[in-house]
Structure 1
Amino acid sequence: MKPCDILAVFALSVAAAVVAPAHAGETEYGGTFCSHSKATMVQASPDITALNVESWGIQTSDSLFKPWANATNHCAGNVLVVQGKASARGECLWTDSDGDTFIGTFVDEPGKPGAWTFVGGTGKWKGVTGSGTYQYASSSKPRPDGTGEGCTTHSGKYTLP
């Protein structure tokens, strides 16, 4: 994984929010979100690099799942690069246009698609469950101050009680 992709990891979250169905049942989601990230170096050596990363993003308005267009996210997590292979773990909080939120965890491991799992939410997202995958669509070169931008595509399914 390239260093610019490491910054994109936190743009990830893998879901966005706005309008959810009023009935229980599995709902598919998908689209693209873009974010700005800030990485703080914890350790850097030829064999091991550890970073704390925080990002702030928005689901694009041309989202494949229109009800989530323009939802925002705030993510925080850790990236570990061992012998050139990066892994990442963290959490993201999404806020829809009504102010309802949901939170989830993400895991990025070498050789596997990024994975997202819903943990819970407020308002219309209370009791949400489900999961999905994500992949990086584009990313900027990281700047010397540890900042960068990136976009991520994602898809999956969620269920409301």
Structure 2
Amino acid sequence: MNNIIWGFITILGFIVFIPVAQAENIDMISCGSGNINIIAAGEDLTIMAMEGKGINLDNYGNKTFDNMTYQYGALFKIDKGNWSGSMLMKYMDPSGDFLVVEIAQVGMVRDGKFIYGTGKWKGISGACKAVPNTQGKPISPGTNQGCFKITGTYELKK
């Protein structure tokens, strides 16, 4: 009977001390500039490809995403005024480690999920939502400049 009790206590001890990934919050602003390439433009339909670059400002005290630079490629459709599209974004931290986010956009809201990471971002998972924060007048034709507020959660494998 003592062996059973000690066995149970030992197993319970292992379970209690197994490290578990904990979700961390995201609250940042991403600002950047991009180029727009119109693929097709009609009265009710516009299809465009976009690519661009920018930088993040992290609103949390730990500044995890602060000064991360990013690059994206996107394909959008505006059908009778309704936006939809998809993007792939690479975020790189100051050490050179990077993560990739896959984004679906409906209207002006972007829903993203983390799909890949290197270095300290290896094994990243989680999701985020981005909404426009500001949009400037294009500095030159065929460009866009603006910022998005991004919130969500992420986890790193232990």
Pairwise same-fold verdict (TM > 0.5): yes
Q: TM-score range by the shorter chain?
A: 0.7 to 0.9
Provide the aligned length of Structure 1 versus Structure 2: 137
Residue 23 of structure 1: how far off its partner (Å): 7.1
Identity over aligned residues, as a percent? Answer: 25
1: CA distance, partners of 2:124 / 2:20: 12
For the pair 1:150 / 2:151, whether they are aligned, the reply is: no
Alpha-carbon contact 1:115-1:132 (below 8 Å) kept? yes
Match of residue 72 from structure 2: 75
For the pair 1:42 / 2:39, whether they are aligned, the reply is: yes
Match of residue 10 from structure 2: none
TM-score normalised by the chain length of structure 2: 0.81
Match of residue 124 from structure 2: 128
**Segments of 4+ in structure 1 off by > 6 A?**
none
> Taking CA–CA contacts closer than 8 Å with sequence separation of 6 or more, which of the two structures ends up with the larger relative contact order?
1
Matching of residues 65-104 of structure 1 within 5 Å: 65=60, 66-104=63-101
Cα deviation 1:85-105 (Å, max 9, x = unaligned): 111201000000111000011
2: CA distance, partners of 1:106 / 1:83: 22
Q: Rg: which structure is higher?
A: 2
TM-score normalised by the chain length of structure 1: 0.80
Task: Show structure 2 runs of 5+ residues with no match.
Answer: 1-18
Q: Compute the RMSD of aligned alpha carbons.
A: 1.7
Against the structure 1 CA distance between its residues 23 and 70, is the aligned structure 2 distance closer, same or farther, given a 3 Å change threshold?
Answer: farther
Match of residue 52 from structure 2: 55
Residue 31 of structure 1: how far off its partner (Å): 1.1
